[in-house]
Amino acid sequence: MGGSASLLPQEVLSEYQELTFLSKQEILLAYKRFSELLPKEGRENACSARVPKSQILTLPELRANPFQHRICRVFSTSDNRDDSMSFEDFLDMLSVFSDSATLDIKSHYAFRIFDFNDDGILDKKDLKKLVNCLTGQGKESQLSNTEMEQLIKNILEESDIDKDGTINLSEFQHVISRSPDFASSFKIVL
């Protein structure tokens, strides 16, 4: 803790604390874990380095998560779409998944994660991919075609209020607000 504290200057630390929902200890722990992902030579300026996606996916919190690729895509700000993450992207991700983030922020990012084709709405294809991610990759544990059709029809019936066949952000947030357990399940702690 003493070693990594000296690597992150105090003003930068307080700036990060202001801009995210994380506490000082959480930011320092994130810094430590992030610099462990870098090769030994690059650890000095971890703040400005970018970690490739394959390295990020070795983190135990993301290793087995079915939404790992979507998480990297949503939080990465790299220009050449290779889903690499800088330290600030990493903090962004941890902030959204932290304990103190508001329900609004969490549902906003959950919507972006579930939007597999990045078009700003959840249509039938997105919902189908979402359900397949949830039920796992094994052949026996996936829903059959008829079951999938029935499920998607029901979801749209319940949540599509303007009846346009897709779910937009407000409709999604309205559905999420009905579940009191969402905030505690949409959480990743290092």
Segment contacting other proteins (CB under 8 A): 8-16, 20-28, 80-88, 138-146? Answer: 138-146
CB of 90 to other proteins, least distance (A): 16
Please answer whether residues 27 and 13 qualify as being in contact, where contact means their C-beta atoms are separated by less than 8 angstroms: yes
CA–CA separation, 115 and 119 (whole Å): 7
Where helices occur in the chain by DSSP H, the ranges are: 2-7, 10-19, 24-37, 53-56, 60-63, 68-75, 87-96, 103-114, 124-135, 145-159, 169-176, 182-185
Taking CB under 8 A as the criterion, the residue among 1, 10, 64, 79 binding other proteins is 64
Query: Is position 65 an interface residue for other proteins (rule: CB under 8 A)?
Result: yes
Nearest to 62 by CA among 40, 33, 25: 33
Segment contacting other proteins (CB under 8 A): 35-43, 47-55, 60-68, 75-83? Answer: 60-68
Segment contacting other proteins (CB under 8 A): 10-18, 30-38, 75-83, 137-145? Answer: 137-145
Nearest to 186 by CA among 114, 89, 83, 121: 114
Query: Is position 103 an interface residue for other proteins (rule: CB under 8 A)?
Result: no
**What residues from 66 to 95 belong to the interface with other proteins (CB under 8 A)?**
66-67
How many C-beta atoms surround the C-beta of residue 36 within 10 A?
Answer: 12
Query: Is position 139 an interface residue for other proteins (rule: CB under 8 A)?
Result: no
Q: Specify burial of residue 163 (Cβ count, 10 A radius: 0-12, 13-18, 19+).
A: exposed
Query: Is position 175 an interface residue for other proteins (rule: CB under 8 A)?
Result: yes
Query: Is position 141 an interface residue for other proteins (rule: CB under 8 A)?
Result: yes
Q: What phi and psi values does residue 167 have, to the nearest 5 degrees?
A: -110, 120
Segment contacting other proteins (CB under 8 A): 16-24, 44-52, 74-82, 153-161? Answer: 153-161
User: Under the rule (CB under 8 A), what is the footprint of other proteins?
Assistant: 60-61, 63-67, 97, 110, 114, 130-131, 134-136, 138, 141-143, 147, 150-151, 154-155, 157-159, 161-164, 172, 175-182, 185-189
